[in-house]
Amino acid sequence: MPKDLPKRLTAEFVGTFFLLLAVVGSGIMAQNLSTDIGLQLLQNSFATAGALTCLILTFGRVSGAHFNPVVTLWARLEGDLDTKSALNYAVVQVMGGIFGVIAANVIFELDAINWSTRDRSDPALWLSEIIATFGLLMVIIGVVRTRKDHWVAVSVAAYIAGAYFFTSSTSFANPAVTIARTFSDTFAGIEPASAPMFILCQFIGCLLAVAVMRVTHPKQT
């Protein structure tokens, strides 16, 4: 394990906390500001992309700014993390996400734990999550492999903002985000029963992207 693992895990916890605070908090605010679903989605995507850009720039050189177990899985498959470190990353990502959602609920005067009743159990949404996660990993790997690391923050945030609108699932593309959003019975929520298939599809999308990008963007030694 890397000697600076505690520092990395702290960065992953804090980063994922603020990511989910942005996702859910902006979703709640959007509901408060407008009854137009399209406008709500625009507000939600804009806030999420803005926060994500800042968080990646802040923590990128500390932990890699994964904030997402499928990104951590890619790092493990590439040999950039050992298995124990990768599992620790995933745990703190989920924990940070849950606490971020709880914080969003509290500051908007909702119950701290507010289980979602938003049903997202539909094959079209499952396929959407495979595609959304494939695209996210495609962007990350492609930008990193072309040695344009300084564009990662903007590229990832721009992709997420766009994917809100071109995927039917609004591009969760993140198991930690999916688990955390079960704690929010709001615009951004997902009921607990819908989460397992979303997570499975996200890992499928990740593995497909890794396989394809090894062909198109092989790792240089």
> What pLDDT, on a 0 to 100 scale, did the predictor assign at position 221?
66
State the CATH class of domain 5-216. mainly alpha
Q: What is the DSSP string of 9-37?
A: HHHHHHHHHHHHHHHHHHHHHHHHH-S-H
Nearest 5°: phi and psi at 3?
Answer: -65, -30
Q: What is the DSSP string of 160-188?
A: HHHHHHHSTT-----HHHHHHGGGB-STT
Are 161 and 46 in contact by the 8 Å Cβ rule? The answer is yes
Mean pLDDT, range 49-56, rounded to an integer: 98
Q: Is the pLDDT of residue 65 over 90?
A: yes
Could you tell me the pTM of the whole model?
0.96
Residue boundaries of the structural domains of the chain: 5-216
